[in-house]
């Protein structure tokens, strides 16, 4: 969806449910948490695990793993701020590196003060011990220890607040665009790569899909609004069957291409949403279930990408090539007044998604494969399309490079997006802590990719408008006839 590299996961927090571990393992883990907890070792949210800890984390089952988003590489932000500043400028982002530098400098200053006070406290403790051994009065040093501890506690609180502000800022920083991404502000600056197919020349007035639906009774916008509100639709008869046929057609294609089909949960927690970049920046675009702290997924990209969160994969396991068909739920908060009629922009729609986890040196090759799969589906349905490269200003938050495939809609006399294929490089992998271990090497972050393959709603719209006939009937594409039980034409009112 639209929406550089060494690192380690963050500290391991404690878990109360240790009953599944043997006694020796419980003792070992207890000692581990005590030694390496944030308070015990003074780790910042950007600190690395001590050597060998990653192997310990890998052995633990999922209830004992934890993660915290690493977002962009901190070393890049600190040592090469001009790289991030240039990326923000290319994306026309309002964020300023000045904010990061101010917070990071404040964090460093506070940490230096804390370390200085701790050193002073250590010296005072040593003096107390020396005086007591000598049988002398140590009351003055004991009083100073109490004062030092209070000052250290206050500075620790201030440091934690600055760390939180810094991490919250970093979570809003978008991915760095690839060098091949064209400059530009919005969709008007996107670059067309190629077109396929010639739009059909009609010898009768062309209808929009909502007018065709009124004649054929397939899409019921009024009852959808009655049941749930605007941007909801009820599909009847042939329309429901045709969407189901599209799902099966798409999934069969992906299986032929060697992708593993996944049926994930439709609700996920906050960490999962944060892993793929929806949170915290785009919370208003999501449907949330407050009492449970669950979110309805806006795309299968979210749960499928996070399947391997907090895992270290073997290099031989890559690439992971998945596909998933799910309902998707979006509030369309920023789309007021856009596509208010018809089936183009809905709060709920069905989509088949492709998700890849790859080695870093292979991700752009697999981006081309993913794009080509989306195009091939449209070619098999004989629907004209064009493919464009999104400019930096129009690209999604998590993407490093994105192709949009747009299908021709004769009722609107324009191309509309039907697939968006993105390479997120290590951006999501850092947030979700998804790594692999190269042969003989240290763990590295995988690269993640996602792409639509395809949404059934917009596919249905394209089929209705491109295959409409003078009498209002709709021809079923040859590729879908077997999935429609041999039906070749959808007759008006039937």
60 has a pLDDT exceeding 60: no
458 is catalytic: yes
240 has a pLDDT exceeding 60: yes
Of 398, 420, 422, 452, catalytic = 420
Of 8, 259, 321, 330, catalytic = 330
Span 53-57, mean pLDDT?
A: 29
Of 102, 108, 417, 437, catalytic = 417
26 is catalytic: no
317 is catalytic: no
pLDDT tens-digit profile of 191-222? Answer: 999 999 999 999 999 999 988 887 778 998 89
pLDDT at residue 288, as a whole number? 93
pLDDT at residue 494, as a whole number? 61
255 is catalytic: no
User: Band of the pLDDT at 68, cuts 50, 70, 90?
Assistant: very low
417 is catalytic: yes
Long-range pairs, 220-226, Cβ under 8 A, ≥24: 221/341, 221/342, 221/343
Of 58, 151, 200, 345, catalytic = 345
Nearest CA to 448 out of 470, 437, 459, 433 is that of 433
Interior/surface letters 68-95, b for 16+ CB within 10 angstroms, e for the rest:
bbbbbbbeebeeeeeebbebbebbebeb
Q: How far is CA 367 from CA 292, 401, 402, 404, 473, in A?
A: 36, 9, 9, 12, 38
pLDDT tens-digit profile of 410-457? Answer: 999 999 999 999 999 999 999 999 999 999 899 999 999 999 999 999
Q: Contact, 78 vs 104, CB < 8 A?
A: yes
pLDDT tens-digit profile of 146-159? Answer: 888 999 999 999 99
pLDDT tens-digit profile of 330-345? Answer: 997 566 667 778 888 9
The pTM of the full predicted model, rounded to 2 decimals, is 0.80
Token pair recorded at residue 170: 């970093």
pLDDT tens-digit profile of 362-395? Answer: 999 999 999 999 999 999 999 999 999 999 999 9
Span 15-34, mean pLDDT?
A: 36
pLDDT tens-digit profile of 453-486? Answer: 999 999 999 999 999 999 999 999 999 999 999 9
Q: Out of 67-81, 100-114, 255-269, which region has the weakest mean confidence (pLDDT)? A: 67-81
pLDDT at residue 261, as a whole number? 98
Phi, psi values for residue 10, rounded to 5°: -85, -170
Span 109-129, mean pLDDT?
A: 90
Of 373, 458, 459, 473, catalytic = 458
pLDDT at residue 70, as a whole number? 54
């Amino acid at each position: 969806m639209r929406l550089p590299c060494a690192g380690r996961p963050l500290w391991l927090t404690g878990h109360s449910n240790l009953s599944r571990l043997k006694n020796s393992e419980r003792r070992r883990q207890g000692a581990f948490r005590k030694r390496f907890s944030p308070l015990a070792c003074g780790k910042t949210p950007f600190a690395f695990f001590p050597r060998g800890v990653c192997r310990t984390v890998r052995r633990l089952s999922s209830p004992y793993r934890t993660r915290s988003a690493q977002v962009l590489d901190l070393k890049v932000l600190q040592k090469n701020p001009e790289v991030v500043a240039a990326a923000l400028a290319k994306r026309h982002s309002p964020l300023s590196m000045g904010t990061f530098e101010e917070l990071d400098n404040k964090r460093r200053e506070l940490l230096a003060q804390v370390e200085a006070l701790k050193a002073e406290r250590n010296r005072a403790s040593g003096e107390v011990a020396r005086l007591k051994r000598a049988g002398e009065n140590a009351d003055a040093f004991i009083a100073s220890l109490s004062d030092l501890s209070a000052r250290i506690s206050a500075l620790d609180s201030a440091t934690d607040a600055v760390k939180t502000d810094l991490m919250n800022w970093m979570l809003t920083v978008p991915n760095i665009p690839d060098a091949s991404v064209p400059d530009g502000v919005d969709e008007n600056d996107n670059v067309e790569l190629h077109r396929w197919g010639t739009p059909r020349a009609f010898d009768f007035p062309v209808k929009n899909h909502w007018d065709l639906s009124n004649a054929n009774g397939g899409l019921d916008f009024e009852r959808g609004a009655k049941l749930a509100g605007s941007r909801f639709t009820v599909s009847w008869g042939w329309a429901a069957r045709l969407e189901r046929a599209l799902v099966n057609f798409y999934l069969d294609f992906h299986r032929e291409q060697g992708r593993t089909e996944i049926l994930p949960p439709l609700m996920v927690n906050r960490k999962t949403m944060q892993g793929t970049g929806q949170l915290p920046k785009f919370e208003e675009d999501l449907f949330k279930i407050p009492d449970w702290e669950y979110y309805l997924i806006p795309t299968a990209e979210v749960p499928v990408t996070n399947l391997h969160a907090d895992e270290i994969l073997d290099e031989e396991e890559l690439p992971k090539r998945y596909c998933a068909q799910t309902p998707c739920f979006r509030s369309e908060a920023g789309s007021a007044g856009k596509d208010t009629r018809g089936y183009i922009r809905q709060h709920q729609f069905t989509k088949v998604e492709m998700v890849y986890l790859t080695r870093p040196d292979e991700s752009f090759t697999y981006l081309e494969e993913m794009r080509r799969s989306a195009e091939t589906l449209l070619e098999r349905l004989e629907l004209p399309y064009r493919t464009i490269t999104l400019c930096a200003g129009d690209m999604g938050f998590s993407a490093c490079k994105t192709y949009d495939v747009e299908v021709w809609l004769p009722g609107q006399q324009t191309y509309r997006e039907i697939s968006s294929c993105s390479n997120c490089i290590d951006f999501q992998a850092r947030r979700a802590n998804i790594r692999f271990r190269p042969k003989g090497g240290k763990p590295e972050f995988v690269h993640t990719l996602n792409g639509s393959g395809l949404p059934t709603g917009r596919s249905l719209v394209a089929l209705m408008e491109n295959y409409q006939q003078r009498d209002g009937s709709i021809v079923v594409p040859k590729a879908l006839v077997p999935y429609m039980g041999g039906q070749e034409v959808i007759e008006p009112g039937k």
